[in-house]
């Protein structure tokens, strides 16, 4: 028996060596090799669409809630421990909610870099198509870096020369460990990507990024850097395009009423394609008297301190006078809605503050603020 096992073992070794190359050439079922995935311009467009999809799922309330949890307007989350860690500034490596958002932005960056590297492999790709896709890819990459550096680094201006640790800049489609770049380097990369996007995107691009979207995002980036002259320059380009106007609605998530303000938006088409899922799940208060996220009494009192402040309509008290009393918002009491990422109100407020900081054109600053308040 022992000799037989040795013989069988030797036979299998011979077979294994002789067929090793052929076995390695077998494509696993239900898998597509990278070199087979991107062969046509249509394949590249699908890849680009998937980058937008990742952004939409990262900005469906997840990123916005992270920022709110680090502010002063929310109470401690009801029972979401991951959210509580963010609220208490005590999140760690094991917080999957934090880790998954960080990873998702880098998935978008990775896919952009895969697309950029594939251009030379697609003979049917026209120069115009390549230029547009490159510009859209740079927009997606810049937006990803911008949201990452705001949440995972100290702000611009924190150190002299902004040499403090930022995030990792990835310009190739690899997963190799890389050191964090400085905040200065990250912002320089963001601006470089957005300047290319602003100069090469189409004037109109449907639901995708276009020239004015890139300019609007540049304004937000420069605002974080206190580069107020650049804020004004880029906001002026968007405003002077004549494409946008203030709506009569105070709720920018009211898609019917506020579309005139939308510069770049993640579109929801149904409850099965809801780009606002995290907003709804955590804030909705008509079908849940004690939602995960509620506002503080101080914030509620502030918006109700003036009888003329129409924002008060979006806040109410559930279970008043009980131990389950909750100060809630009603903005998100919808099954689904689109999520504007860049909109006119925000730009006008930034421009007004920029004028004030520079102490110039104060009449226009007052006009911008009055237009917002009086509507």
Q: What is the DSSP letter of 28?
A: P
Per-residue pLDDT at 208:
97
3-state secondary structure 64-133: HHHHHHCCCCECCCCCCHHHHHHHCCCCCCCCHHHHHHHHHHHHHHHHHHHHHHHHHHCCCCCHHHHHHH
Per-residue pLDDT at 298:
97
Percent of the chain past pLDDT 70, that is, above it, reads: 90
Q: Determine the Cα–Cα distance for residues 91 and 104; give it in Å rounded to an integer.
A: 18
Q: Determine the Cα–Cα distance for residues 134 and 51; give it in Å rounded to an integer.
A: 12
The CB-side HSE value for 172 (13 A sphere, CA atoms) comes to 5
Per-residue pLDDT at 35:
61
Q: Determine the Cα–Cα distance for residues 259 and 275; give it in Å rounded to an integer.
A: 16
Q: What is the DSSP string of 296-349?
A: -HHHHHHHTSSTT-GGGGGEEEESTTSTT-EEEE-TT-SS---EEEEEHHHHHH
Contact 258, 291 (CB under 8 A): no
Phi, psi of 17 (to 5 degrees): -65, -35
Question: What is the per-residue pLDDT across 312-334, written as a single tens digit (0 to 9) for each?
Answer: 999 999 999 999 999 999 999 99
Q: What is the DSSP letter of 161?
A: G
Identify which of 229, 42, 222 has the alpha carbon closest to the alpha carbon of residue 142: 222
Per-residue pLDDT at 4:
37
In this prediction, residues 124-128 reach a mean pLDDT of 96
For residue 28, pLDDT over 70 is answered with no
Mean pLDDT estimate for the chain: 91
- With residues binned 3-state (H G I as helix, E B as strand, rest as coil), the percentages for the chain, rounded to 5, are 55, 5, 35
Question: What is the per-residue pLDDT across 47-63, written as a single tens digit (0 to 9) for each?
Answer: 999 999 999 999 999 99
- Taking the alpha carbons at both ends of the chain, their separation in whole angstroms is 92
Strand, helix or coil for residue 270: strand
Q: Determine the Cα–Cα distance for residues 336 and 146; give it in Å rounded to an integer.
A: 26
Pairing state of beta strands 262-266 and 315-318? unpaired
Per-residue pLDDT at 257:
76
Per-residue pLDDT at 6:
32
Question: What is the per-residue pLDDT across 69-116, written as a single tens digit (0 to 9) for each?
Answer: 999 999 999 999 999 999 999 999 999 999 999 999 999 999 999 999
| 370 Cβ neighbours under 8 A, 6+ residues apart | none
Identify which of 97, 140, 99 has the alpha carbon closest to the alpha carbon of residue 266: 140
Question: What is the per-residue pLDDT across 216-225, written as a single tens digit (0 to 9) for each?
Answer: 999 999 999 9
For residue 310, pLDDT over 50 is answered with yes
Residue 34: pLDDT band by 50, 70, 90 thresholds?
A: low
pTM: 0.90
Phi, psi of 38 (to 5 degrees): -120, 95
Per-residue pLDDT at 29:
56
Q: Is 100 left (phi over 0), alpha (psi -120 to 50) or beta?
A: alpha
Question: What is the per-residue pLDDT across 245-260, written as a single tens digit (0 to 9) for each?
Answer: 999 888 889 888 789 9
């Amino acid at each position: 028996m022992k000799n037989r096992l040795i013989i069988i073992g030797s036979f299998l070794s011979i077979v294994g060596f002789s067929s090793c190359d052929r076995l390695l050439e077998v494509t696993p079922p239900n898998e597509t090799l990278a070199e087979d995935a991107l062969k046509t311009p249509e394949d590249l467009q699908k890849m680009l669409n998937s980058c937008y999809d990742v952004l939409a799922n990262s900005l469906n309330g997840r990123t916005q809630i992270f920022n709110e949890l680090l502010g002063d307007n929310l109470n401690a989350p009801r029972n979401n421990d991951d959210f509580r860690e963010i609220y208490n500034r005590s999140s760690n490596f094991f917080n999957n909610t934090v880790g998954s958002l960080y990873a998702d932005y880098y998935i978008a960056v990775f896919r952009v870099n895969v697309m950029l590297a594939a251009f030379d492999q697609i003979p049917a790709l026209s120069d115009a198509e390549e230029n547009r896709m490159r510009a859209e890819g740079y927009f997606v990459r810049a937006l990803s870096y911008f949201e990452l550096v705001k949440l995972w680094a100290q702000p611009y201006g924190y150190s002299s020369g902004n040499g403090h640790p930022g995030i990792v800049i990835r310009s190739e489609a690899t997963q190799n460990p890389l050191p964090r770049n400085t905040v200065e380097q990250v912002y320089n990369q963001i601006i470089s990507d957005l300047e290319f996007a602003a100069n090469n995107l189409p004037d109109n691009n449907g639901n995708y990024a276009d020239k004015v979207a890139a300019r609007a995002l540049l304004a937000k980036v420069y605002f974080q850097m206190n580069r107020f002259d650049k804020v004004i320059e880029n906001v002026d380009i968007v405003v002077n395009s004549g494409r946008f106007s203030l709506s009569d609605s105070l709720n920018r998530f009211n898609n019917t009423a506020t579309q005139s303000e939308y510069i770049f938006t993640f579109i929801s088409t149904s409850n099965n394609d809801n780009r606002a899922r995290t907003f709804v799940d955590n804030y909705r208060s008509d079908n849940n008297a004690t939602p995960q996220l509620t506002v503080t009494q101080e914030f509620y009192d502030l918006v109700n301190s003036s009888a003329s402040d129409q924002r008060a309509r979006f806040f109410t008290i559930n279970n008043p006078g009980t131990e389950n009393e909750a100060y809630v918002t009603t903005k998100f009491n919808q099954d689904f809605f689109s999520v504007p990422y860049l909109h006119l109100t925000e730009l006008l407020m930034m421009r007004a503050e920029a004028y004030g900081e520079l102490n110039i054109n104060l009449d226009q600053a007052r006009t911008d603020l009055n237009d917002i308040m009086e509507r």
